Amino acid sequence: MAGKLLKIGFIGGGKMAQAMAKGFISAGLTKAESIISSCHPSDIASAKAFKDLGAESVFENLPVVEKSDVVIVSVKPSVVPIALDEIKRSNIKTDKLFLSIAMGVSTRQLEKMLPSDSRVVRAMPNTAALIRNAASVFVTGKNATEADVEITKNLLDSVGTCEEVPEGLLDPVTALSGSGPAYVFILIEALADGGVKMGLPRDLAYRLASQTVLGAGQMVRDSGMHPAVLKDNVTSPSGTTAAGLHFLEKSGFRAALIGAVEAATVKSLEVSQETETLIEKSFR
């Protein structure tokens, strides 16, 4: 579909769907009038958000599939079987790309819930899609084509960066980049609290802490240098950075972050297993 503006539908119109829609429009991949979302009748705010973009918003899922080239499944895992079963039981043509961002729902499960020839891709963006700076990964289903991969990359790159990975890595990815922004938010808050303790005004401390994290992250991403090398470059003998790093090491800073990713991975695996059980029950 190179050069063609995509018709994009969202089954579920929450914050992530809204962020992705804005990114797709800003990147020129589609226009607002080529976007449609379905929202629960009680979710007036999400419906209004899409209408404010100039997109269409409905309270049914089937029109979303009918009008779209790409259908993005962006509902809670427990809702996925209900939404997709409705599609499977209908006579709607499913010659679409189904791109799911529902946590814990595997490509195998998605394919089972859709007509047998459906083309499926599973993706995991993170909350920074809201500012078009997400770290996303994706996994292709058995029927997905090279064109589907290209479309997926274009869509996800429009709201940040993306990489294709084996599906077995989705749980640790969820723990690292999916949950990771929360860890960084705590880091920024703690850095600012330290600055305030030492006399900085609160607003200045937050500005400095957030810009420091932003700049350091960009240096790691863009320089190609190992983080340890960059760390050594700012650590002078007997200097302030060395003193601060020593305190972090004594306090178990690295171990805490490693443990956070491990704990979140375990939780993600549990959610995936619970979701699989829920989906299997829905087919009995």
The span from the CA of 160 to the CA of 164, in Å, is: 14
Query: How do residues 31-76 score in pLDDT, each as one tens digit?
Result: 999 999 999 889 999 999 999 999 999 999 999 999 999 999 999 9
Q: Residue 280: CA atoms inside 13 Å, Cβ hemisphere, count?
A: 7
Structural domains of the chain in order of their starting residue, each with its CATH number = 8-165 (3.40.50.720), 178-263 (1.10.3730.10)
- Rounded CA separation 147/144 (Å): 8
188 annotated ligand-binding residue: no
Task: Look up residue 221 and give its two tokens.
Answer: 């991403």
| Low-confidence stretches of the chain (pLDDT beneath 50) | 1-2
Looking at residue 95, its pLDDT comes to 87
Instruction: Find out whether 11 is annotated in a ligand binding site.
Output: yes
Q: How far apart are CA 146 and CA 144, in angstroms?
A: 7
Instruction: Answer yes or no: is 16 a known binding residue.
Output: yes
Q: pTM, whole model, 2 decimals?
A: 0.88
Name beta bridge partners: 164. Answer: 138
C-beta of residue 11 within 8 angstroms of C-beta of residue 73: yes
Burial of 196 (0-12, 13-18, 19+ CB in 10 A): middle
The answer to whether the CB of 259 falls within 8 A of the CB of 85 is no
Q: Is 13 marked as binding a ligand?
A: yes
Q: Which residue has the tokens 């997905």?
A: 144
194 is in an annotated binding site: no
The neighbour count for residue 181, using CB atoms within 10 Å, is 15
